[in-house]
Structure 1
């Protein structure tokens, strides 16, 4: 059995997102796909771009930079960094990405702010919350969130947009919705605390929990394998 083409997979992913939004009673424009292209070649990103996909997520800095260099002609492509960010890699991310979804420490936020070129728009930031309190996962606790949000809001080269989480895998819609609801509630609390901030983004939901994420208000849904096929192991 042949693997679906990028065209077929992207169409299926868009249909799935549209059906989830409809079932949740939300407008079609309320959420969009973030195509997670880590370990995939630039040619596949280009193919998806020609099919109208604009947002692409990368986890590994050097791999992403190589692809960006190959795709400089795609002027309206939007690069999102979604992996754990080491301090020594922050300059490249600050200079070459539009979004970072994985900020969970003030030190990293400060470096991104200081290294973001003044010639570029402020860097869009999502704070990563360890919503299932897993020892193996990156992200801060909900208790740490207000202080980091306040710090990021004081940094002029960053624009705090919302929250990101990768919940522990669970079976069943209601079990999947529970941690995502906590993240949504945390964003609502931040909006009340910081009413002037452009807090419009919930980066949550992947292939296994897309429907639950959309029910709980996801605005960016991260799909990789569902669009590009099985991933190669990253060396």
Structure 2
């Protein structure tokens, strides 16, 4: 199937899941995770009406920016971001979804300040407490959000999470529910209904994520096909 046909199928699945949960499909933003897909694939997704594109790797994103691969759609950074690469990302993307430490938050603030911009971000939650994964542990999320609120050049729009890859469906659902609860708690205590984005769900679980309250899903292989790693 073509990328356009895949996007249509994913949108139909999102709509069905949203209606099951008593939600409007228009509430959900579809981000095409375009890692390891070239500029032509990105352009095809944009032509088919993708809401945004998301990149995981700074080097790949930079190369495709030079090819104008993302013209016509917002660009998000959705992968692990090293502090020494923030200057290549801040100001280039509309949203950094993977801010998972105070150190990274500070680096983004410093870089955005030099650019005289306000960079929109999501705080990443390490909901599975995985040692090899970045993100705020649940009990450190509120202090992280408080630190972000003190910054002049970052704006927190919400939360992002990736449950452990080995989790089965029931575990995944519990993780989604926990992050939704953290989102609501943070909104009530600090942001007073100002949060907009709960980014969770990928190709294998985006429908469950929508049922659990996600407002944004990041879908790669279900749109672009299997990635071929070298």
| Contact in 2 for aligned 1:128/1:164 (Cα 8 Å) | yes
Partner residue of 1:28? 25
Alpha carbons of 1:68 and 1:54: their partners in 2 closer, same or farther (altered >3 Å)? farther
Alpha carbons of 1:73 and 1:209: their partners in 2 closer, same or farther (altered >3 Å)? closer
Deviation at 1:62, TM superposition (A): 1.1
| Contact in 2 for aligned 1:40/1:232 (Cα 8 Å) | no
Provide the C-alpha distance between the structure 1 equivalents of 2:12 and 2:159, rounded to a whole number of angstroms: 25
Counterpart of 1:46 (choices 43, 46, 49) is: 43
Alpha carbons of 1:93 and 1:208: their partners in 2 closer, same or farther (altered >3 Å)? same
1:7-52 deviations in Å (ceiling 9; x for gaps): 1111111111111111111012111211000110011000111111
1:77-133 deviations in Å (ceiling 9; x for gaps): 211111111111011111311111111111111111121267675211111111111
Provide the C-alpha distance between the structure 2 equivalents of 1:215 and 1:73, rounded to a whole number of angstroms: 29
DSSP-derived class of the 2:32 partner: strand
Alpha carbons of 1:23 and 1:183: their partners in 2 closer, same or farther (altered >3 Å)? same
Q: How many residues align?
A: 229
| Contact in 2 for aligned 1:94/1:113 (Cα 8 Å) | no
Query: Within 5 A, what are the aligned runs for 1:22-171?
Result: 22-71=19-68, 74=71, 76-116=72-112, 122-169=118-165, 170-171=167-168
| Contact in 1 for aligned 2:53/2:70 (Cα 8 Å) | no
Cα RMSD (Å) of the superposition?
1.8
1:182-209 deviations in Å (ceiling 9; x for gaps): 0010011111111347312111011221
**Is 1:217–2:219 an aligned residue pair?**
no
| Contact in 1 for aligned 2:101/2:134 (Cα 8 Å) | no
| Contact in 2 for aligned 1:160/1:198 (Cα 8 Å) | no
Deviation at 1:135, TM superposition (A): 2.2
Provide the C-alpha distance between the structure 2 equivalents of 1:108 and 1:218, rounded to a whole number of angstroms: 24
Provide the C-alpha distance between the structure 1 equivalents of 2:147 and 2:221, rounded to a whole number of angstroms: 35
User: Please, what TM-score do these two structures have when normalized by structure 1?
Assistant: 0.91
| Contact in 2 for aligned 1:153/1:197 (Cα 8 Å) | no
Provide the C-alpha distance between the structure 1 equivalents of 2:224 and 2:99, rounded to a whole number of angstroms: 26
Structure 1 residue ranges without an equivalent (≥5): none
DSSP-derived class of the 1:222 partner: strand
| Contact in 2 for aligned 1:160/1:197 (Cα 8 Å) | no
Partner residue of 1:188? 184
User: Please, what TM-score do these two structures have when normalized by structure 2?
Assistant: 0.93
